Chain A
Amino acid sequence: MNRYFLYLVILNMLTNVIIFVPNFLIQYRYDGAIMSILIATISGMILMYLDSIVFARFPGKGLPEIIENRMRVPFKIILFVGFSLFWFTAGLITLLGYIDILHRFINPDLPKVWLMVIFLAAICFVIQLSTQKVVYLLEIILLLNGPLVIFIFFKAITSDYLNWDSIFEIGTHFFTPPKLTPIVVASYVFSGYTNIIIFNRLFKEKIKSINFALILGLSILNLFTSFLVPIGFHGADGAHEYMYPWIMTSDSIRLVYSPIERALFIFLMLYISITLLSVSVHWHVAFELIKGSYIKKQSKKKNWLVFACFIGFSILAVLRIDLLKPEMVIKFWLIARYFFEIIIVFCFFFFLRRRKA
Chain B
Amino acid sequence: MKLTGKWFSVGVLFIIISFLLTGCGFKDIDKRLFVVSIGIDPAIDSSKKYLISLKFAIPIIEEKSNESMIVSEEADTISEAVRMIKPKVDKEIDFSHAKVIVYNQKIVQKEIEPNLYYWFIRRRDIQEVSWVAIGKPSALDVLKLKPKSERLPSNSLFLALGRDGPETAYIIPEFLFDFKRRFSEKGLDPYLPIIEVNKNAFEINKVGLLNKKQLKLSLKPMETMALNFLLNNESKSALVIDDKDKRLVIDTKRVKTKYKIVPDNQKQPYIKFDITINGRIEEADFSVNNADIPEYEKLARKVTQENVYQFLVKMQKANVDPIGFGLRYRARHFEKDDWKTWQQLYPSIKFKVNVDVQIEDTGLVE
Contacts and interface: CB of A to CB of B under 8 A. Distances in A.
A109 B31 CA distance: 15
Given A161-B178, A172-B331, A175-B334, A237 B25 contact: no
Contact of A165 (B127, B128, B327, B334): B327
Contact of B331 (A104, A110, A168, A261): A168
Interface stretch (B35-43, B179-187, B244-252): B179-187
B129 A172 contact: no
Most A CB atoms within 10 A — which of B17, B20, B188, B232? Answer: B188
Interface string B107-141: 00000000000000000100111000000000000
A71 interface: no
B260 interface: no
Contacts of A114: 20
Given A108-B25, A163-B327, A175-B334, A235 B129 contact: no
> Is chain B's interface secondary structure helix, strand, loop, or mixed overall?
helix
B181 A169 contact: no
Interface string B157-180: 000001010000000000101101
Contacts, number: 93
B328 interface: yes
A166 interface: yes
Most B CB atoms within 10 A — which of A104, A107, A165, A253? Answer: A165
B129 A251 contact: yes
B146 interface: no
A159 B13 CA distance: 43
A140 interface: no
Contacts of A238: 180-181, 183-185
B118 to A, nearest CB: 9
B25 A235 contact: no
B333 A172 contact: yes
Interface in B321-354: 324, 327-328, 330-334, 338
B218 interface: no
Nearest to A110: B25
Given A109-B25, A169-B327, A241-B184, A256 B20 contact: no
A252 interface: yes
Interface residues of B, number: 35
A261 B129 contact: yes
A82 B175 CA distance: 50
A172 B330 contact: yes
A235 B17 contact: no
Contacts of A233: 177, 181
B331 A166 contact: yes
Interface string A51-75: 0000000000000000000000000
B8 interface: no
Interface in A251-287: 251-254, 256, 261-262
Interface residues of A, number: 39
B286 interface: no
Contacts of B124: 104-105, 108
A107 to B, nearest CB: 5
A121 to B, nearest CB: 7
A118 B16 CA distance: 11
Contacts of B319: none
A166 B127 CA distance: 23
A112 interface: no
B331 A121 contact: no
Given A234-B177, A234-B181, A163 B188 contact: yes
A171 interface: yes
A236 interface: yes
Interface string B181-206: 11111101000000000000000000
B186 A252 contact: no
A256 B185 contact: no
Contacts of B127: 251, 262
A163 B128 contact: no
A166 B178 contact: no
A169 B180 contact: no
Contact of B332 (A168, A254, A262): A168
Interface in A125-184: 125, 160-161, 163-169, 171-172, 174-175
Contacts of A108: 25, 124
Contacts of B164: 256
B233 interface: yes
A222 to B, nearest CB: 23
Contacts of A174: 334
A248 interface: yes
Contacts of A165: 188, 324, 327-328, 330-331
A172 B334 contact: yes
Given A118-B20, A252-B175, A254-B175, 18 more contacts: A106-B25, A109-B27, A161-B177, A163-B324, A165-B188, A167-B331, A169-B327, A235-B184, A238-B180, A238-B181, A248-B128, A251-B127, A252-B177, A252-B178, A254-B162, A261-B129, A262-B127, A262-B129
3 interchain residue pairs of minimum CB distance: A238-B184, A168-B331, A235-B185
Interface of A: 104-110, 114, 118, 121, 125, 160-161, 163-169, 171-172, 174-175, 233-238, 241, 248, 251-254, 256, 261-262
7 contacts: A109-B26, A114-B20, A165-B330, A236-B330, A238-B180, A241-B184, A256-B162
